[in-house]
């Protein structure tokens, strides 16, 4: 019995460290995921924003996966999982929307301010 207690105390820090490493490895893909954001704004005052559901349908029909579309003041903010999806969406949106709309991708600093 005395040997068992010594064994547990000696290995406890290693086991605890191993558990933390396993947790960190399982959370790493989630933390490392790179989300891209595209914002659609109107360039002329008084022009209404396009319907988010319509844009969702059009982008989905083109095989572009969207995480979310949310209104943010006088703009629509679209979140994508990958840079490739974002770039493909920008091409489709520029072709789909009439003149008077600005389609722009945001960098990390802009994304933090939008959240």
pLDDT in tens, 76-100: 899 988 888 999 999 999 898 888 8
More confident residue, 66 or 13: 66
Share of the chain above pLDDT 70, in %: 77
* Residue 85 · residue 67 · CB < 8 Å: no
Q: What is the pLDDT of residue 25?
A: 77
Average confidence (pLDDT) over 38-54 = 85
Q: Which helix (H) or strand (E) holds 71?
A: strand 68-72
Confidence of residue 60 (pLDDT cuts 50, 70, 90): very high
CA proximity to 38, closest of 20, 52, 54: 52
Reply yes or no on whether the pLDDT at 110 is more than 50: no
Average confidence (pLDDT) over 13-26 = 82
Q: What is the pLDDT of residue 109?
A: 39
Q: What is the pLDDT of residue 61?
A: 92
Residue 97 CB-density burial (10 A; 0-12 exposed, 13-18 middle, 19+ buried): middle
Question: Helix axis angle, 52-61 relative to 83-96, nearest 10°?
Answer: 110
């Amino acid at each position: 019995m005395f040997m068992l207690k010594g064994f547990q105390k000696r290995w406890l820090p290693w086991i605890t460290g191993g558990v933390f490493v396993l947790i960190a490895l399982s959370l790493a893909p989630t933390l490392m995921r790179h989300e891209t954001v595209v914002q659609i704004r109107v360039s002329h005052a008084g022009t209404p924003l396009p319907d988010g559901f319509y844009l969702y349908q059009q982008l989905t029909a083109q095989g572009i996966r969207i995480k979310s579309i949310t209104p943010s003041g006088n703009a629509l903010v679209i979140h994508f999982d990958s840079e490739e999806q974002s770039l493909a969406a920008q091409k489709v949106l520029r072709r789909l929307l009439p003149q008077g709309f600005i389609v722009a991708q945001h960098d990390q600093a802009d994304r933090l301010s939008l959240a």
